[in-house]
Structure 1
């Protein structure tokens, strides 16, 4: 009986432990599959069909196509790739004579590994239906000297670097419509900085069909958003009736050096969010900002960080007072710092917490303003007149002689 109980206990422990081992083994296998990026990873269920010089593979590559070099294939279509990674470097080794490459309906594909070498003969790359791919690394195609066309329509692309379009010296056409472009995170700012007829932008044949999809600019034409992003003045926005009801305005990473147009504008007293991060602002009209913030019942967030603020005794005391007064609205106080300089007391120092003695020290006297000069002159004149009156009065009392002015008057 005792032996039977021991056997039952051992069997129970085995049944409890084994599922854990199986789950762990399964997780390890999945992790290894994610780290692996070989064309041979999915050869068992792959189906490839060759018609003359064209090869179409679904779900991977059969062993016969990834063993050795296939010089006879010039056009390759890959569909329903079952992995998250696709190694284009290995693809180039097995199919060195490719002229055209299509990667279609690969919903799991997230990234590319390796790159096409400079001796690649591919002239056209087509990618459609890659619903998990957010960005194509520029180094994937940068070395291709024969690439003339890229058709990247109808994917999930959100970002794109300029290097992707300038790597190939003979690249003529790029199609990008039907993607989920994010126009608000800086990933496409290079488009805003380029001239309207710039070489890189002109290669995008459907540029005016591109639409922003993510966050702030959802549904807006990309080219119009880029026109706003590249501005160096806010006059065109504040004075444009089309933006009268604009609530949230993000103008990060532009070339704006002044915002005097905001003063007195109707929009400035009704906006909800204003972001001017990463521009060239050195100072702002503090009084105008204070007045607008007090009158604005809609205001929620203001961002002023990463600008080269001028730190002197004339501007900083008033600016610091504004920051502290509206610290619940101004959300990036830690990024609002003095511009970089040789003065260790102020260089890149956070303005809201900086001692005013750093900019208004005894060694650096505050420059006398014009109104103070006028006051000093008036005070001197008053003292002169008062002194002259006392002198004449005393002289008259002692000698009985009238002052010169009184003696000549009729």
Structure 2
């Protein structure tokens, strides 16, 4: 009997335990000290996972009130702080967690807006029209976590969080941040900074992300995506890595020390970078002997270059499809005939050089075989107005006028004309260049014929005179008298 009673009591005790646990759990949930997420119990210390999504559905949102919950001192405010004065000051000063859903102002001033909460450990501002943090945060001894997300915050001062000495985590995801003037100045024991989800402009200088002592705090570096037109949807770390690599390559070669090296594109699928090198206005005597790999555009305008041979025999130029050589001293591009580059280029600008003639047939073959050719500029050169070259050159200009877009500005100079006379190549006709006015009208043969005619007339005149003299005076010419 005793054994049965003992077993009965044991069974009663086992059946009682779940009820007790359920009751304790319900009381804890009712008091706000624990909550259930995905079937797991989460203590108050992790309630910063609370989200402000659909905060306007909360009853407090209608009047912009706050709700105090949990025995750890937490406050949720929905669209305003209208009822804050009704909460006892002592309880307000003990609050440890503040969540502002729908901050009512466009500006957040930590100096005044956080003054009533000296002991807070966690600050959250989500889903609001907040656009600016007016001043740096004051010295706060307890604040460890700051979450400002899903707002219109577009800029932030690097010194904003410097004086929050206990700060460990800052979450700035999903705002409208475009750039940082430099790495944030953070307290000594800081741990994690989140920056993903912002429309970052990767044309700005974010190379400091690659420096361990400056970028190590960024917990989501690999998730930061560029939003600017140039690098849209590219990973920021990839973009900055290529920028640093390019800068190192340009600084390592003496030919490029004073040149500007930039990355203008990253191919979407392959993530191959494309570079632009600008060496204009540097008094270069020759084209650089070294160009970084993946360079596609090269500017060498306003220098003293006279030779384009590197385009033919330097492997560094194989992928350079756009070459700008305006205002140099180039007098011939004959060496490019039949070369790989001349049949694969996309843009070649030779305006303002010293070109007088080019191998027209080679240019025709190159443009005909090159599907990539998009622009060839040849104006402002002293082209010669000669019969054969000019007419053939005119045909090429008309045939490829969509590629040679400055054809209407190309002029030629009549040789030996004084004063010097220019003519628009497209407007010339065969009569203009094959029978130029400057050619002499009297040729040597014509002059000889004239002399002979004059001598004939003179002889005949002398003969007539001698006959007349003999007829009237009976005297023969003296030359006849001298004959034997």
TM-score (ref. length: structure 1): 0.49
The higher-RCO structure (CA 8 Å, 6+ apart) is 1
Going by fraction, where is strand more abundant, 1 or 2?
Answer: 2
